[in-house]
Chains A and B, each alone.
Chain A
Amino acid sequence: MSTFREGQDQAHPNKTSTLILALILVLILNVSIQIWLLYTTLNNALAQHADIALPAFLASLALFLVGFFWLYYLPGGGKQRKIVKNVNFSDTYH
């Protein structure tokens, strides 16, 4: 069965670079939003306002899940491992 993976593995390295950069940027964005959520939750909880805590947690969890399944689209999953298998190790040590 062929998936997007095959095409991705054959793409030009420039294309792969752009793709991986975009994926990482989205992950960083997610993490930034999560930091903000945690900061706000903590501040409100310490001020005895617990109401915001649950929605903030759900949002944070959703962002984590998005990021987690996002990893599936990381390029290089199949290709790089195949190359590694063919490396002649005696050449890689100095």
Chain B
Amino acid sequence: MARDTKDNHWKEDFPIPELESTQVSRRDFAKFLCLVSGGLATGTGYVAIKANFFPPEKIVNEHFVCKKDELPIGGTKAFVISGSDIPYILIHLEDGQFRSYEQKCTHLSCAVFYLPGSGRIECPCHNGWFDALTGEALEGPPPRPLPRLDVVIKGMDVYVKAYEPSNKAVV
């Protein structure tokens, strides 16, 4: 409690009525909505600039992953490409084909795993499923297919390179 007159000066120094300091008026709420709106417009602009002018770097050349006999049928090998830190997996499908995908779920970036024998890739985080043959999202929350790489086999060596949709049918 204020005892002397000196302590009473805060009322003049901060002349803000109690009502105003405790209530958010509808005017302020409307202004806040407008601020949020500006933030969303800025965010969309940021995404637009990033998507149009700074696309993610393309993978150049072919990269050696492993020997063909290192990976048994139904096996999975995790690898990274030198110069990037995106995790990838190489899968040896039951029918003998090789497939390579980013190991990051398109939902919230959890690591995905091939479930041997099922032909499907599983994301354990929220029970998302992808087709191991195409990377297509089959079930659960993932909104997009898994980004994939093309697998090139040269003799006994397995290489990967950037995915080109035109050679989808080969391998």
A residues engaging B (CB < 8 A)? Answer: 20, 23-24, 27-28, 30-31, 34-35, 37-38, 41-48, 50, 53-54, 56-57, 60-61, 63-64, 67-68, 70-71, 74, 76-77, 80, 84, 87, 89-90, 92-94
Contact = CB atoms under 8 A, between A and B. Distances in A.
Dominant secondary structure at the B interface: helix
Interface in B30-46: 30-31, 33-34, 36-38, 40-41, 43-45
Given A24-B33, A28-B33, A34-B40, A53 B48 contact: yes
Contact of A67 (B15, B34, B43, B144): B34
B100 interface: no
B15 A43 contact: no
B24 interface: no
Interface string B1-34: 0000000000110010111100001110111011
Interface stretch (B50-58, B72-80, B87-95, B117-125): B50-58
Contact of A53 (B18, B29, B41, B51): B51
A57 B11 CA distance: 47
Interface of A is mostly: helix
B44 A38 contact: yes
B106 A46 contact: yes
Nearest to B18: A92
B143 interface: yes
Contacts of B29: 24
A74 B11 CA distance: 30
A24 B30 contact: yes
